[in-house]
Amino acid sequence: MVSSVRLRAWLLAGFAIAAAAALLLLPPIQQDPGYHSFADHRTLWNIPNFWNVISNVPFFLVAILGVPAMRSTVAFLHAWERIAYGILLAGVGAVAFGSAYYHAWPGDATLVWDRLPMTTVFMALLASTIGERVAMPAGRLLLFPLLVLGIASVLYWKISGDLRPYVFVQFYPVVALPFMFLLFPPRYTGAAWLWGMIGLYGLAKVFELLDARIGTVIGTGGHPWKHLAGAAAMFCYVRAIRQRRALKQ
């Protein structure tokens, strides 16, 4: 059993190394100028791109809803998990402001403030899941290096214009989290909420890709719905933390 878990852990690490190496072999990835063109440009109540801006409010609400779990005596087996959860909540709350700022004045300069808190959320979630599913010491040791990697990927893009590190930071967790949920046993209850989080994040990406098409149907475009689905995904995670209890190993 131990060797089987170790093999799966090495597969997870091997995939990370292979994905990073594959990206390094690609030429630099530049930001598409059309990225900043969203379906809905309407100004309402003197707020430009109103629906893309205001739809970030749920992220702040989710962060607030998650705070009471910080005091839980049963939701965290180790102190570092509580720290990681607090960092994640801070990132989710910051997404509300950073993304709203970006969507009010879309451009590369403001996009930095959208991406920095998002990478914080991704990396805190990844480290927490590694700790819960793979090995607690690994999650604890990786927490701050992963946070630094996430922040550095955004700063590197800002300085060099190359998105490759950011692409890795954003999309590796999308693959790694379901892999860990499927192949490693949980240490806590509440796994159904985590699958809800994965499903809603996938739905958010669909809304993002269909922004223009949805805009032709209902006017607001798909991007505000992306924000709502993303906030709902984070709510699922917060709900899982608030309700979870340690399982007997």
Residue-wise pLDDT for 42-78, tens only, equals 889 988 999 999 999 999 999 999 999 999 889 999 9
Which residues in the chain come in under a pLDDT of 70? Answer: 1-3, 249
Measured distance CA(39)–CA(121) in Å, rounded: 26
Its pTM stands at 0.93
How many CB atoms within 10 Å of residue 71?
A: 8
What is the reported pLDDT for 3? Answer: 59
User: CA nearest 114: which of 212, 23, 210, 226?
Assistant: 226
Q: b or e along 155-169 (b: 16 or more beta carbons within 10 Å of the residue's beta carbon)?
A: eebbeeebbbbbbbb
Measured distance CA(95)–CA(63) in Å, rounded: 10
Place of tokens 């480290």: 127
Measured distance CA(153)–CA(168) in Å, rounded: 9
The answer to whether the CB of 143 falls within 8 A of the CB of 84 is yes
What is the reported pLDDT for 228? Answer: 97
What is the reported pLDDT for 39? Answer: 84
How many CB atoms within 10 Å of residue 145?
A: 11
Please name each of the domains of the chain with its CATH number.
Answer: 2-243 (1.20.1070)
